Amino acid sequence: MNILQLDSAITGEASVSRKLTADIVARLKAQDPAASVTYRDLNEGVAAIDNAWFHAVRVVPENPSPEQQQLIDRADAYLQEVQDADVLVIGLPVYNFNLPAQLKNWLDQIARAGVTFRYTEAGPEGLLKGKRAIVGYASAGTPIGSEIDHASGYLRHMLAFLGITDVTFVAADRLAMDRDAGLARAQDVIDQIAA
């Protein structure tokens, strides 16, 4: 089993979502000690897609400039990590009712027409099938699945759009109201995860 662990919290060691992803990976590794883990901290910087990215990655010039090649290489590295993974363990800290910009930027980098999704007569088809995602959701006050939670629904939709429909959320939500209860709810879900 190949695991891709993605963190995006800006709070470092104090991050609950980072603790959740670490605990989820530890649980998977305990069940499958031979599992490999690729780790990427999105907080180290994921460029937003822009005009330069479009002309390098989507248009694919025949003779890319050094700057374009750098954009292509970075986007392809993100993509290869996802393609190689059997399981994605994604940290989802909720900031201002939504996912962090760096996680959105990563999704934009890997959402590539003809590679991770395609349009058919029946509508869009995700091409990253057969993968599983486990999401460590952490929020101070936003209940998961509530009308003010714009993070979990969007991430679930994007993963499904890319073909990843086996998605489990491990939620430590409403931590500002009752931290211990939120962490306990998350631990109960982690304890039931099977590799």
Q: Binding site: residue ranges?
A: 15-17
Q: H helices of the chain, where?
A: 16-31, 51-53, 66-84, 101-110, 152-161, 179-191
DSSP reduced 3-state for 155: helix
CA separation for the pair 44, 58 (Å, rounded): 24
Residue range 2-191 in CATH 1.10.10.10: no
pLDDT recorded at residue 194: 86
pLDDT recorded at residue 195: 73
Mean per-residue pLDDT pooled into runs of 10, the chain (195 residues) = 97 95 97 97 95 93 94 96 98 97 98 96 96 98 97 98 98 96 95 88
1, 195 Cβ separation under 8 angstroms = yes
Q: Binding site for FMN: residue ranges?
A: 15-17
Bridge partners of residue 90, in order along the sequence:
6, 135
pLDDT recorded at residue 39: 98
What is the identity of the amino acid at 146?
S
Per-position b or e across 121-157, b if 16+ CB within 10 A of its CB:
eeeeebebeebbbbbbbbbeebbbeeeebebbebbbe
Bridge partners of residue 24, in order along the sequence:
none
99, 92 Cβ separation under 8 angstroms = yes
Contacts of 76 (CB under 8 A, 6+ apart): none
Residue ranges per structural domain of the chain: 2-191
